[in-house]
A and B are shown apart, each in its own frame.
Chain A
Amino acid sequence: MRRRADSARRSDAFFLFCVYAAAAFFVVIVAALFVMLTKGSWLSLQTFGLKFLWTSEWNPVNNTFGALPLIFGTVVSSLIAIVLAGLVGILAATFLADFAPRWMARPLSFTIELLAAVPSVVYGLWGLFVLAPLIRSYIGPALQKTLGFLPLFQGPIYGVGLLTAGIILAIMILPTVTAISRDVIAAIPEDQREAGMSLGATKWETIRSVVLPAARTGIFGALILALGRAVGETIAVTMVIGNRPVISASLFAPSYTLASVIANEFTEATSDLYLSALIELGLLLFVVSFLINAMARLMMWTVFRDK
Chain B
Amino acid sequence: MINKDVWDKNRGGRKTRSAIGVFLTGLCASLAALALLAVLGYVIYQGARAVNPAFLTQLPKPVGETGGGVANGIVGSLITVALATLIATPLGVLTGIFLALFGRGMVAESVRFLSDVLSGIPSIAIGLFAYTLLVAPFKHFSGVSASVAFAVLMLPLIIRTSEEAVRSVPQTIREGALALGMSVYRSTMQVIVPAARPAIITGLLLSIARVAGETAPLLFTAFGSPFWTVNPTQPMAQLPLQIFNYAISPYEDWHRQAWGGAMILILAVLVLNITARFVFAAPKNRQ
Residues of A whose CB lies within 8 Å of any CB of B are 8-9, 11-12, 14-16, 18-23, 25-27, 29-30, 32-33, 36-37, 39-40, 87-89, 91-92, 94-96, 99-100, 108, 110-112, 114-115, 117-126, 128-130, 171, 174-175, 178, 196, 199-205, 207-210, 225, 228-229, 231-235, 239, 259, 262-263, 266-267, 279, 282-283, 285-286, 289-290, 292-294, 296-297
In the complex, whether B138 has a CB less than 8 A from a CB of chain A is no
In the complex, whether B122 has a CB less than 8 A from a CB of chain A is yes
How far does the Cβ of B232 sit from chain A's closest Cβ, in whole Å?
19
How far does the Cβ of B20 sit from chain A's closest Cβ, in whole Å?
9
Known contacts: A23-B99, A92-B29, A178-B32. The answer to whether A294 contacts B117 by CB under 8 A is: yes
Q: Please, could you name 16 A-B residue pairs with CB atoms under 8 Å apart, sorted by A?
A: A12-B183, A19-B95, A23-B99, A25-B91, A87-B28, A92-B28, A114-B36, A117-B209, A118-B269, A119-B240, A121-B240, A125-B259, A201-B7, A202-B18, A204-B17, A239-B248
Known contacts: A27-B111, A199-B2. The answer to whether A100 contacts B26 by CB under 8 A is: yes
In the complex, whether B277 has a CB less than 8 A from a CB of chain A is yes
In the complex, whether B175 has a CB less than 8 A from a CB of chain A is no
Inter-chain contact A12/B26, CB cutoff 8 Å: no
How far does the Cβ of A178 sit from chain B's closest Cβ, in whole Å?
6
Inter-chain contact B270/A114, CB cutoff 8 Å: yes
In the complex, whether B155 has a CB less than 8 A from a CB of chain A is yes
Write out the residue numbers on chain B whose beta carbons fall within 8 Å of the beta carbon of A125. 43, 243, 247, 258-259, 262
Closest Cβ neighbor of B102 among chain A residues: A19
Could you tell me which residues of chain B, from 256 to 287, have a CB within 8 Å of some CB in chain A? 258-259, 262, 265-266, 269-270, 273, 277
Q: Tell which of A11, A25, A130, A231 touches B122, judged by Cβ atoms closer than 8 Å.
A: A231
How far does the Cβ of A211 sit from chain B's closest Cβ, in whole Å?
12
Known contacts: A37-B132, A120-B216. The answer to whether A130 contacts B29 by CB under 8 A is: no
In the complex, whether B215 has a CB less than 8 A from a CB of chain A is yes
- Report the bound CA distance from A123 to B223 in whole Å: 21
Could you tell me which residues of chain B, from 99 to 126, have a CB within 8 Å of some CB in chain A? 99, 101-103, 107, 110-111, 113-126
Write out the residue numbers on chain A whose beta carbons fall within 8 Å of the beta carbon of B117. 30, 290, 293-294, 297
Would you give the 0/1 interface string for B146-171, flagging 1 where the beta carbon is closer than 8 Å to chain A? Answer: 00000010010001000000000000
Write out the residue numbers on chain B whose beta carbons fall within 8 Å of the beta carbon of A19. 94-95, 97-98, 101-102
- Report the bound CA distance from A88 to B28 in whole Å: 5
In the complex, whether B128 has a CB less than 8 A from a CB of chain A is yes
Classify the secondary structure of B's interface with A: helix
In the complex, whether B63 has a CB less than 8 A from a CB of chain A is no
- Report the bound CA distance from A7 to B179 in whole Å: 18
Could you tell me which residues of chain B, from 153 to 211, have a CB within 8 Å of some CB in chain A? 155, 159, 183-186, 188-189, 209-210
Write out the residue numbers on chain B whose beta carbons fall within 8 Å of the beta carbon of A126. 39, 42-43
Known contacts: A29-B152, A117-B269, A119-B240. The answer to whether A91 contacts B122 by CB under 8 A is: no
How far does the Cβ of A230 sit from chain B's closest Cβ, in whole Å?
10
Known A20-B98, A111-B33, A200-B7; further 19 A-B contacts with Cβ < 8 A = A11-B185, A22-B90, A23-B111, A30-B118, A89-B28, A108-B30, A110-B277, A117-B209, A119-B212, A128-B247, A174-B32, A204-B18, A229-B120, A233-B122, A266-B219, A266-B220, A293-B117, A293-B119, A297-B116
How far does the Cβ of B188 sit from chain A's closest Cβ, in whole Å?
7
Inter-chain contact B2/A111, CB cutoff 8 Å: no
- Max chain A Cβ within 10 angstroms of own Cβ: one of B21, B38, B101, B189: B21
Known contacts: A12-B184, A88-B32. The answer to whether A279 contacts B132 by CB under 8 A is: yes
